[in-house]
Each structure stands twice: as structure tokens, then as C-alpha cells.
Amino acid sequence: MTPAFISGLLLGLSLIVAIGAQNAFVLRQGLTGRFVLPVALVSALLDATLIVLGVAGLGALLESVPFLLGLVRWLGAGYLVWFGIASLRRARSDQSMSVSGSDPATLTSVVLSTVTFSLLNPHVYLDTVVFLGALAAQFGDSRWWFALGACLASTVWFFSLAYGAKALSRYVTQPRFWKILDTTIAVFMFALAIGLVFAPLGG
């Protein structure tokens, strides 16, 4: 596995596991056991599509304007640090993930709900299209390995969350579970920020 692939995988996982409406919906469907495959599949495909669009578009732009790579390096590192600090703040709170609520009754309504939770969240565009797309450009010709790692992270996460919901049900509603998870995410974010600052541009 290339460093670009590993970075994409770790960063993709770190960004996607934060508590949010999409994860809560996928988890809730997993707990009910209804339409689990469509929910996980649609969520993963939408995420992968956004990642590919970001890598393709921003990668080409940053290659055509080389000086932007330096700017992206520092903006990316700053975002990683900010996300890490936000994760530490969440770790100090008593948050948990609510899995209550009624689930859609038909396949069509499930798919529409999945698309809604996936795309009507402004942070998903910042994380996938803008942020991951820009960071991928740091790896030059290896940026598609980075994209593959990030896409794999999304796929593994959504399918694990959907199909592992039953096993996780006793933990996800406990604040301690999210304290440990958010602290781990923060450590990854800070480490990736340091790596981004000292890594050579392109390559």
C-alpha cells in the first residue's frame, strides 16, 4: 500500500465517523434491520462520487497553478488542527448518538432519505469535494491512490455501521464510547496535520 492510499484511508475514516444525521440514519436502519444494503450502498456510492469529483477537479486546478499547492498545504493543515480541536471538545462533552425515530417504510423512501441525509449537509462538500480533493493534489500522480483510500474508508465505514449496528447498539448511546472515539480522531488529525506540513509537495 502506498503512503497516499494509507493517508486517504485514515483521513477518510477520521472525517466520516463524526456524529451526524447521516451516520445516525444509517445506524438506525441497521438497528431496525430494514433495507440495510441499499442504505449502506447508496451512502458509500454518493461519498465516493463526491471524492472522485473533488480529486479530479481540484487536482487538475492545483496542478495548473502550482503556487496554490503551498496555500493548500497550510489551509489543509489548519483545517486538520481545527477538526482535531473540535473532536477534543466533543470528547469533553456528554454527547451520544440518538437512534430513536421511525424508519422509512419502503425502498424508495429509504433511498430518498439516504440521498437527503448524504447531500443536504454542507459539511459533506467541504470534507469530500474541497478538503479531500485539495489534499489529494499534495500526492501528485499518486492522488488517485489517495482517492481510492478515502473511498474505501467510506465504504468500510458505512457497511460496518449498517451491518454492525446490532453489536454497537449497547455502546453508541453511551457518552464514553464517543469520548474515546473523538479523542482517537483528534490524535489522527494532529498527526496528519504534522505530516502534511513536513511532507514534500507533489510527488
Q: What are phi and psi of 174, to 5 degrees?
A: -105, 125
In sign, the C-alpha dihedral spanning 143, 144, 145, 149 is positive
Q: Please give the distance of CA 116 from its chain centroid, rounded to a whole number.
A: 17
Segment (H or E) for 133: helix 133-136
Dihedral of alpha carbons 101, 118, 48, 96, sign: negative
Average pLDDT, whole number, for the chain?
82
For 113, the grid coordinates are: 432519505
Contact 95, 24 (CB under 8 A): no
Each residue's pLDDT tens digit, 12-68: 888 887 766 788 788 888 887 889 999 999 999 999 999 998 888 876 676 677 777
For residue range 112-129, list pLDDT tens digits in order: 989 988 887 667 777 888
- Residue 136: pLDDT over 80: yes
Q: By the 8 A CB rule, do 62 and 137 touch?
A: yes
